[in-house]
């Protein structure tokens, strides 16, 4: 179709890509009042959280970090999923992918100034000198004052000749301790982290055979060695006897010929075909080893595709093309400051530049390779988590390009640091920040590079529907009456930001919680690891799930974990052998109790 005959839409903000970040950006821009168009390739919104099947998200699990659209998404999931989100052990939250997709679709439908168009692939960026003015699709042109790249692989960047990075940087470039000194066999074989084509299995009486055209059992031998089949399956257990398969050890990570993802349309399709076959082979292997009590789940993802609808709509991409931005996030920005429990706050001219909080450990995926990284994991609340860090606004803004922002794994970040910034909670809030920034640029008639970071921080902190933290503080939950004051305090006084990540806020009582009542003897494995030996007196209202297990003395001992800062402090003060009572939730897959309220004696 000729350009002149294409449909034309004019908007304030155009978001291309309906992934985790793109969906969030469009929603936030529209909520702020901008006339917004969201164009996606997939029929579902949400990307990693839905279409890619990663319905067991990682990171930002502590209550203090459940803010912004990430926190709102969790709350919406909890309201919709009977039985709660404690099902697997890889994540504190697992859910049906369609539930997440429905949440995003409903949020979009609630906004009359947000137009969502699906099934479109970008063909060309419209550009006048150094300013992006819109995007051309097959039969559609959208002109916009601000365009946001929310694609999974940064597909707008080459279309608009916007400078970007792809792959590894050497140690000398950013002085990253974990980066290689020189290019080597690993960097050549895996220029970026391996994607995974997620699929769902179901627990059933006798499932149909899973057919693979060219079975490759040798690739998967030992996949659950050291875990056992039950724990392997429970990794991503979902409600209703379903299992999300996103397994990194001799599993469905696929990294052969990763350069094909960005070489051409044809080569990308070749990679996708091979990645799907690899996952199908893994499903075949699981059934061959564990029997036909496990088969492919049915009617999980949208129908009318060439592949079974137990497989995600697209792979879970862990890495993308990454813009060369005004700021680049490197390893030092995600690692703890010496003798501290937090990463440094990014500052520019003495002013805090952070707009998004994350906390996931640095995690890289190269099939068959153990790649050592500088440690940033910590134990908190009886469980392993990661050092909190932040994303600076300049990482969303390309250098010397106007009218353009990014909001996915395409932010300005090094290959090494991407292992922490790529996670779903970070990306959804990066999207929120990008959408807010775009809307503010419309309001103030300015370019993204001219936008005051403090005005963006204030807009995020005071958003009426999903206020988002910009400074990570372990002990300050978003419901705390002093939350906003302390966020602003450390923006104004970054030199006083506490090394332990705890502000001197006034304590408030933890609510009783919605879980069950438990009583038992407290044990301390070490300073930051806890368990309880449950009692089985008949007058205690133990959860139904535990009543049977209490008959087996081995299952009386359960690990104790919490996401609540008040409970974390209480666990630190408990003594070995102390009789405690608590309100919490049982996670059978993980073998732990999530403590919502510790009552002590």
Q: What is the CATH number of the domain that holds 323?
A: 3.50.50.60
Same domain, 108 and 11: yes
CA dist., res. 183 & res. 536, Å (int): 60
- CA triplet 302, 293, 286: central angle to 5 degrees? 75
pLDDT digits 0-9 by tens, 195-232:
999 999 999 989 999 999 889 999 999 999 999 999 99
- pLDDT value of position 341: 95
Residue 545, pLDDT > 90, answer: no
Same domain, 143 and 212: no
- pLDDT value of position 550: 44
Residue 502, pLDDT > 80, answer: yes
- pLDDT value of position 552: 44
Candidate from 194-208, 440-454, 473-487, 516-530 with smallest mean pLDDT: 516-530
Same domain, 264 and 324: no
Domain range for 73 is: 3-166+318-335+394-468
pLDDT digits 0-9 by tens, 392-403:
999 999 999 999
User: Could you tell me if residue 73 is inside a domain?
Assistant: yes
User: Could you tell me if residue 499 is inside a domain?
Assistant: no
For residue 234, the SS3 value is helix
- pLDDT value of position 235: 97
CA dist., res. 113 & res. 363, Å (int): 38
Per-residue pLDDT, averaged over 99-119, amounts to 98
**Distances from the Cα of 17 to the Cαs of 11, 112, 428, in angstroms?**
16, 19, 13
Same domain, 156 and 17: yes
- pLDDT value of position 386: 96
DSSP-assigned letters across all residues of 66-103: --HHHHHHHHHHHHHSTT-S---SS-S----HHHHHHH
Same domain, 206 and 260: yes
Residue 1, pLDDT > 80, answer: no
pLDDT digits 0-9 by tens, 19-46:
999 999 999 999 999 999 999 999 999 9
User: Could you tell me if residue 426 is inside a domain?
Assistant: yes
Per-residue pLDDT, averaged over 117-140, amounts to 96
Number of domains in the chain: 3
Burial of 399 (0-12, 13-18, 19+ CB in 10 A): middle
Same domain, 258 and 328: no
User: Of 296, 327, 362, at which residue does a domain stop?
Assistant: 296
Q: Sign of the CA dihedral 138, 140, 144, 149? A: negative
Count the Cβ atoms, other than its own, within 10 Å of residue 151: 31
User: Of 468, 483, 501, at which residue does a domain stop?
Assistant: 468
Same domain, 63 and 25: yes
pLDDT digits 0-9 by tens, 361-380:
999 999 999 999 999 999 99
Same domain, 150 and 220: no
pTM for the structure as a whole: 0.95
Candidate from 50-54, 226-230, 510-514, 539-543 with smallest mean pLDDT: 539-543
User: Could you tell me if residue 352 is inside a domain?
Assistant: no
Per-residue pLDDT, averaged over 541-560, amounts to 59
- pLDDT value of position 83: 85
DSSP-assigned letters across all residues of 440-460: HHHHHT--GGGS-HHHHHHHH
Contact assessment for residue 342 and residue 472, using Cβ atoms and an 8 Å cutoff: yes
User: Could you tell me if residue 312 is inside a domain?
Assistant: no
Residue 6, pLDDT > 90, answer: no
Name the band, by pLDDT with cuts 50, 70 and 90, for residue 601: low
User: CA nearest 66: which of 501, 565, 459?
Assistant: 565
Per-residue pLDDT, averaged over 245-249, amounts to 97
User: CA nearest 572: which of 596, 594, 598, 593?
Assistant: 598
**Average pLDDT for the chain:** 93
Q: What is the CATH number of the domain that holds 586?
A: 2.40.50.140
User: Could you tell me if residue 359 is inside a domain?
Assistant: no
Same domain, 323 and 427: yes
User: Could you tell me if residue 350 is inside a domain?
Assistant: no
Contact assessment for residue 198 and residue 50, using Cβ atoms and an 8 Å cutoff: no
CA dist., res. 218 & res. 222, Å (int): 9
- pLDDT value of position 542: 47
- The beta strand positions in 175-273, using DSSP E, are 199-203, 237-238, 242-245
Same domain, 31 and 103: yes
Residues 6+ apart with CB under 8 A from 262: 153, 158, 166, 268, 321
Name the band, by pLDDT with cuts 50, 70 and 90, for residue 536: low
DSSP-assigned letters across all residues of 581-597: EEEEEEETTTTEEEEEE
Per-residue pLDDT, averaged over 474-494, amounts to 96
Residue 383, pLDDT > 90, answer: yes
CA dist., res. 150 & res. 444, Å (int): 23
Per-residue pLDDT, averaged over 270-278, amounts to 97
Residue 65, pLDDT > 90, answer: yes
- pLDDT value of position 512: 66
For residue 320, the SS3 value is coil
- pLDDT value of position 153: 98
Same domain, 522 and 589: yes
User: Could you tell me if residue 361 is inside a domain?
Assistant: no
Same domain, 239 and 324: no
User: Of 407, 437, 468, at which residue does a domain stop?
Assistant: 468
Name the band, by pLDDT with cuts 50, 70 and 90, for residue 540: very low
Name the band, by pLDDT with cuts 50, 70 and 90, for residue 482: very high
């Amino acid at each position: 179709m000729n350009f002149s005959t294409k449909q034309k839409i004019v908007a304030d903000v155009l978001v291309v890509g309906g992934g985790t970040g793109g969906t969030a950006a469009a929603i936030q821009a529209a909520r702020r009042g901008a006339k917004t168009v969201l164009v996606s390739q997939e029929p579902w919104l949400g990307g990693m959280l839905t279409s890619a099947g990663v319905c067991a998200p990682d990171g930002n699990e502590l209550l203090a970090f459940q803010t912004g659209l990430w926190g709102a998404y969790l709350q919406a999931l909890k309201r919709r999923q009977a039985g709660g989100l404690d099902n697997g052990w890889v994540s504190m939250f697992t859910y049906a992918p369609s539930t997440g997709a429905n949440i995003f679709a409903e949020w979009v439908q609630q906004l009359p100034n947000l137009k969502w168009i699906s099934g479109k692939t970008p063909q060309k960026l419209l550009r006048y000198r150094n300013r992006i003015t819109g995007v051309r699709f097959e039969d559609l042109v959208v002109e916009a004052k601000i365009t946001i790249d929310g694609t999974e692989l940064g597909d707008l960047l080459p279309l608009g000749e916007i400078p970007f990075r792809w792959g590894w940087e050497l140690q000398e470039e950013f002085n990253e301790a974990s980066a290689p000194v020189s290019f080597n066999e690993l960097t050549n074989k895996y220029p970026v982290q391996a994607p995974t084509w997620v699929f769902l299995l179901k627990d059933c009486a006798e499932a149909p055979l899973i057919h693979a055209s060219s079975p490759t059992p040798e690739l998967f031998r030992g996949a659950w060695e050291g875990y056992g089949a039950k724990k392997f399956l429970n990794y991503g257990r979902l409600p209703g006897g379903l299992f999300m398969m996103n397994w990194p050890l001799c599993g469905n990570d696929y990294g052969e010929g990763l350069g094909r993802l960005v070489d051409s349309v044809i080569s990308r399709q070749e990679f996708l075909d091979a990645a799907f076959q690899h996952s199908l082979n893994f499903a075949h292997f699981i059934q061959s080893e564990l029997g036909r009590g496990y088969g492919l789940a049915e009617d999980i993802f949208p129908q009318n595709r060439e592949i079974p609808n137990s497989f995600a709509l697209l792979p879970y991409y862990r890495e993308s093309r990454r813009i060369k931005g005004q700021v680049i996030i490197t390893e030092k920005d995600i690692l703890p400051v010496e003798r501290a429990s937090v990463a440094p706050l990014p500052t520019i001219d003495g002013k805090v530049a952070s707009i998004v909080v994350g906390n996931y450990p640095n995690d890289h995926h190269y099939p068959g390779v153990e790649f050592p990284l500088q440690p940033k994991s910590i134990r908190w609340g009886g469980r392993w988590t990661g050092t909190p860090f932040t994303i600076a606004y300049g990482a969303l803004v390309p250098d010397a390009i106007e009218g353009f922002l990014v909001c996915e794994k395409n932010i300005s970040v090094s290959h090494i640091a991407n292992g922490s910034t790529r996670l779903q909670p970070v990306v959804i809030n990066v999207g929120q920040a990008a959408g807010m920034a775009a809307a503010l640029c419309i309001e103030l008639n300015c370019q993204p590079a001219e936008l005051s970071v403090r005005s963006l921080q204030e807009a995020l902190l005071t958003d009426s529907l999903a206020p988002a933290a910009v400074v990570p503080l372990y002990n300050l939950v978003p419901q705390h009456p002093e939350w906003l004051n302390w966020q602003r305090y450390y923006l104004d006084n970054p030199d006083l930001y506490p090394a332990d990540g705890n502000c001197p806020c006034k304590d408030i009582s933890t609510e009783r919680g919605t879980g069950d009542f438990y009583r038992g003897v407290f044990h301390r494995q070490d300073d930051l690891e806890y368990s309880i030996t449950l009692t089985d007196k008949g007058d205690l209202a133990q959860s139904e799930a535990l009543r049977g297990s209490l008959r087996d003395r081995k299952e009386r001992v359960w690990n104790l974990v919490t996401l609540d800062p008040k409970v974390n402090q209480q666990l630190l003060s408990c003594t070995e052998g102390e009789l405690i009572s608590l309100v919490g939730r049982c996670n059978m897959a993980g073998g732990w109790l999530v403590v919502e309220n510790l009552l002590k004696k």
